[in-house]
Structure 1
Amino acid sequence: MDRYDIAIIGAGAAGLSVAAIGAAFGLKVVLIERGAMGGDCLNYGCVPSKAMLAAGHAAAAARDAGRFGVRTGPVTVDWAAMRAHVRGAIAAIAPNDSIARFQGMGVEVIQAAAHFTAPDEIEAGTRRLRFRRCVIAAGSAAVVPDLPGLSGLPFLTNETLFELESPPEHLLILGGGPIGIEMAQAHARLGCAVTVIEAAESIMGREDPEAVAALRTALARDGVAFIEGVAATGAEPDGEGVALLLADGSRIAGSHLLLALGRAPRLAGLDLPAAGVEASKRGVAVGRDLRSRSNRRIWASGDIADPAGIGPRAFTHVASQHAGIIVQSMFFRLPARLSYAALPRVTYCDPELAQIGLTEAEARAEGRCAEVLRWPLGENDRAVAEGIEAGIVKLVVDARARLVGATVLAPRAGDWAGIFGLMIARGHKLSALAQLVLPYPSLPEAAKRAAGEYYGPRLLRPAIKRLVAWLMRLP
């Protein structure tokens, strides 16, 4: 039986990060992956979706060029060339996640399914491996609902969507979360009819309603149709396509159906009871140090981890954050404690919707919202110069003028996240943003103007005016 310092199940973002760090420390590391290296993010998620979005954004920009005095003529989409662009993006990044690269680091890579046979043993293919420490990083998969009539019908998930050889005539998207919304805009801009069906009262239900309202308007302008507040109760064939039956008695038919109802951890087949690892449908039960609460040899990282008190987060950048926690907890035995207080999340449509830290509603629920500051993007000089109308910056501050949350609806809003994340993580007051010198003209100046809304009224109080008048009399 082969013995390893660290065994890692899953070669997605989480597993690759831990494997690279472990190998750098000179540990004997084995990485087990049953599918493609790079996992969901590279092959079926972040990379292909953003590549398709880029194509959609380019098509929209060409159609809209006339308002700048640029004449392009009718815009057509070459679907095969678009797919080649998507595949090219994956191929360009793939070497970073390849078997050869990790073998070069000193990591042994086994391409096989893995399951536990004991608290310190794994079976991978025909091999049995014993480990000192293990990281479960098997990721997550798209939720497939138990919808009457769905079984046997053709449907798409993020794992099959990018394989379509021709554009869908009418794409039905069941679920109005980030994945559904991104793919709705991408396909609409590429010339497809798109309808989003969301059971909740609003798409993007976790996000700030003010920003979501503006985003919905932008998506509708692209041609996306919405059915909100109505659940799907069944599915049935419709010619060569599929139809959804809705709770209000209506029926909607489309050529294709994309399921975008969230993610579920890939727990099946791991045989966690054999390792004495507690888990639920949310994922592997771990503490804030990402260590299993029932087997101290095992950690969990990425989408499959369910940290006590804060729950799972299905983001690639969370996997990188987890790797840092595991370095502290597993490698150095330091009292690491995971926090999502400054965690950013971004929906990469146009305009992008970025949330860093708490939304206004979340802050109010926690009693941490003393004031909300807003600045419309339409009053930003760079936005005016580029003809950008939709957008807003909202800053949520506590009673000590510290930033606890930021909502940004703007082009490339995700690129602003670092500023707000740093402020929240370090407990900086709003004055740090108000005093920040930013290049002119730039879109992030809108955030500085929002911060200025906090100090402006306070500086113009009668007492301050009297003080300034007195100081001006001094020689």
Structure 2
Amino acid sequence: MAHTEAADLTCDVAVIGAGTAGLAAERVARSEGARTLLIDDCFAGTTCATVGCMPSKLLVTAGMAAKSVRHASVFGIDAVPEIDGARVMERVRRERDHFVAATRKSFDDLPEGVAVQGRARFTGMSTLVLGDGRTVSARAVVIATGSRPIVPEPFRALGDLIDTNETIFDRETLPESLGVVGGGALGLELAQAFASLGVAVAVFESGDRIGGVKDTVVHDELLRILRTSMTVHLGVEVTPSAGQGGVVLSWDGGSARFDRLLVSTGRAPTLDGLGLDETGIALDDHGVPHFDKTTLQCGDSPIFVAGDADADRPVLHEASNEGTIAGRNAVRFPDVKPVKRDLPFTITFTDPPVAMLGAPADDDSVIGCAPYDDQGRARVMARAEGMVRIYASKPDGLLTGAAMIGPGMDHIAHLLALAILRGETATSLLELPFYHPTLEEGLKPGLRAICHEVHAPLPERDQGVPPGA
């Protein structure tokens, strides 16, 4: 990667942060003819590759492998997994490093002079100063500085006894026991993965829901499934202390000792030290810029914000999309153009996975339920559990959203997302061919229920229903 050495730098678009959003913003701005600078203090790689999506899924997949071995007896195949914690974590790190290396290669492929290593701070709306004294003057600036784990004050004093997602993948082996503070998506993924690998796990969540799941039926099914392999405490505030050779968590009604603690209480935008007070843009109570979600522009300024830095939709595909929108509008400034945002879509990679997409149900929604506890293909796989809740609107059963948990839902959710984006109704989706026996055909009872509720006819192809469909 080549670094710019000039004392004073000028460009059309300066991008602060070389994560997923920043890379997308710089790429699209340069593709549209802008002179760009990509500024980062270390060019370490994206959050996804280093401490997020990829290492977490490596650990999740290891847990699923151990669970599959235990579960094999249902097929008449008796086996007991022998889990080597050091080898599990070694593979996580090795494969993670492969993904990180691929990301870093993209830095090396940048044109000469684009990559600027340093910590940037605003001195005006479109002027920056770097830590080494160099200055940057730009026509527009994209903030894409990502986010960092939130570690509440009581936990910081525990030092090396606690982990966040930014440290846990570097552990040499598995602990005997693990307390997980925070029941968000990543905390649940890692908690279940460790539990499947033989670690005694307990999750502590201060709220009354986990995983951000708003649909009560799907939430309760997720909670039931998780509690088959770990302890989950809802509505508790914990007090940590070092002791008994580990960490002791105390709460109203109990206490427990753990070898290690995973603090997964959310992530905050990395905006401190940017000098946003020098820009004149409006900030919320947490210091995050007010911005237009369709343009990513901060007020009417030449400043744009994208990815986790805006604290809006902290998932990779949204970060990439936001970077593209912000980078393109930074080039166009002041003639920015609004863009229709993607369908809201999240997947939590628990086993089975949870997916939520589209608009949540409201009092006017028609809801079609498709249970998977007796679905044909799920029974064949001995994975019969879960529920799909499909949301639609009157009077024609137009699909608007869904919440689901069950086998294969990380894939099936894409089918429903495409259907919603294309304006399908329950009737028109039933007109598509559903192969038998598949997990996808398990959606049909929910779609039929919507048709019945809105008095829409069933397609002719759906009149003959195969057993277990």
Aligned twin of 1:300: 305
CA contact (8 A) 1:290 1:300 kept: no
Question: How far apart, in 1, do the equivalents of 2:420 and 2:45 lie?
Answer: 31
Q: Which moved more, 1:99-108 or 1:426-435?
A: 99-108
Counterpart CA distance in 2 for 1:213 and 1:393 is 13
Residue in 2 aligned with 1:336?
338
**CA displacement at 1:113 relative to structure 2:** 1.9
| Alignment-derived partner of residue 18 in structure 2 | 11
Quick one: distance in 2 between partners of 1:297 and 1:99? Answer: 30
Q: Which residue of 2 aligns with 1:351?
A: 352
Aligned equivalents of 1:305, 1:102: Cα separation in 2 = 27
One-letter code aligned to 2:347: V
Q: Which residue of 1 aligns with 2:461?
A: none
Tell me the residue number matched to 1:238: 243
| SS of equivalent to 1:32 | strand
CA offsets per residue over residues 102-155 of structure 1, 9 Å max, x none? Answer: 5345672123222112221222332221111111011111111233x7524432
1:343 and 1:376, CA in 2 relative to 1: closer, same or farther beyond 3 A?
Answer: same
Q: Write the mapping of 1:130-149 to structure 2, written as runs, cut at 5 A.
A: 130-147=137-154
CA distance in 1, matches of 2:422, 2:337: 19
Describe the shift of the 1:56–1:20 C-alpha distance in structure 2 as closer, same or farther (beyond 3 A): same
Work out which of the residue numbers 260, 264, 270 in structure 1 matches 2:264.
260
Match of 2:167 in 1: 160
Alpha carbons of structure 1 residues 23 and 292: separation in structure 2 relative to 1, 3 Å: closer
**Aligned residue in 1 for 2:447:** 451
Count of aligned pairs between the two proteins: 446
> Residue 276 of structure 1: CA displacement?
2.5
Contact 1:142 1:260 in 2 (8 A): yes
Question: Judging changes above 3 Å, is the alpha-carbon distance between structure 1 residues 138 and 105 closer, same or farther for their aligned structure 2 residues?
Answer: same
Give a deviation string over 1:229-278, Cα, whole Å, max 9, x none. Answer: 2212x2211132111221x2532221111111111111111111122233
Residue 382 (structure 2) aligns with: 387
| Residue 406, structure 1, aligned to residue 402, structure 2 | yes
**1:423 and 2:419 aligned:** yes
Determine helix, strand or coil for the equivalent of 1:243. strand
Hey, what does 1:432 align to over in structure 2? 428
The structure-2 alpha-carbon separation of the partners of 1:47 and 1:107, relative to structure 1 and needing over 3 Å to count, comes to farther
Amino acid across the alignment from 2:410: G
**Equivalent residue number for residue 42 of structure 1:** 49
Q: Does the 8 Å CA contact 2:93/2:170 hold for their aligned counterparts?
A: no
- Structure 1 alignment gaps of length 5 or more: 307-311, 462-475
The more displaced of 90-99 and 180-189 is 90-99
User: Scaled by the length of structure 1, what TM-score is found?
Assistant: 0.87
Cα 1:40–1:104 change in 2 (3 A) is closer
1:177-211 residue CA offsets vs partner (Å, 9 max, x unmatched): 11111111010011111000111123235432211
Relative distance call for 1:296 and 1:35 in structure 2 (3 A) is same
CA distance, structure 2, for counterparts of residue 440 and residue 97 of structure 1: 40
Supply the AA of the counterpart residue of 2:390: L
Structure 2 residue aligned with 1:466: none
Partner of 1:93: 99
| Equivalent residue letter for 2:50 | N
Distance 2:424 2:148 in 1: 37
What one-letter code is carried by the residue in structure 1 that aligns with 2:322?
A: H
- Backbone CA RMSD of aligned residues: 2.5
Task: Kindly indicate whether residue 319 of structure 2 is the aligned counterpart of residue 319 of structure 1.
Answer: yes
Normalization by structure 2: what TM-score? 0.88
User: Aligned equivalents of 1:41 and 1:144: distance in 2?
Assistant: 20
Quote the offset at 1:98 in angstroms.
1.6
Q: Return the match for 2:277 from 265, 273, 280.
A: 273
Secondary structure class of the residue paired with 1:375: strand
One-letter identity of the residue aligned with 2:276: L
Which residue in 2 is equivalent to 1:27? 34
SS of 1:195's equivalent in the other structure is strand
Deviation at 1:100, TM superposition (A): 5.2
SS at match of 2:152: coil
Q: Would you say 1:283 and 2:288 are equivalent positions?
A: yes
Partner of 1:472: none
The 8 Å contact of residues 182 and 348 in structure 1, kept in 2 or not, is answered as yes
Match of 2:392 among 386, 390, 397: 397
Match of residue 438 from structure 2: 442
1:305 to partner: Cα distance = 1.5
Are positions 1:220 and 2:227 aligned together? Answer: yes
Cα distance in 2 for partners of 1:100, 1:17 equals 11
Partner-residue secondary structure (3-state), 2:189: helix
Give the Cα separation in 2 of the matches to 1:67 and 1:152: 43
Aligned equivalents of 1:35 and 1:431: distance in 2? 53
- 2 CA distance for matches of 1:277 and 1:324? 22
Distance 2:336 2:124 in 1: 27
Alignment of 1:112-151 (within 5 A): 112-126=118-132, 127-147=134-154, 150-151=156-157
Q: How far apart are the structure 2 equivalents of 1:99 and 1:295?
A: 35
Aligned equivalents of 1:75, 1:99: Cα separation in 2: 37
AA in 2 matched with 1:210: V
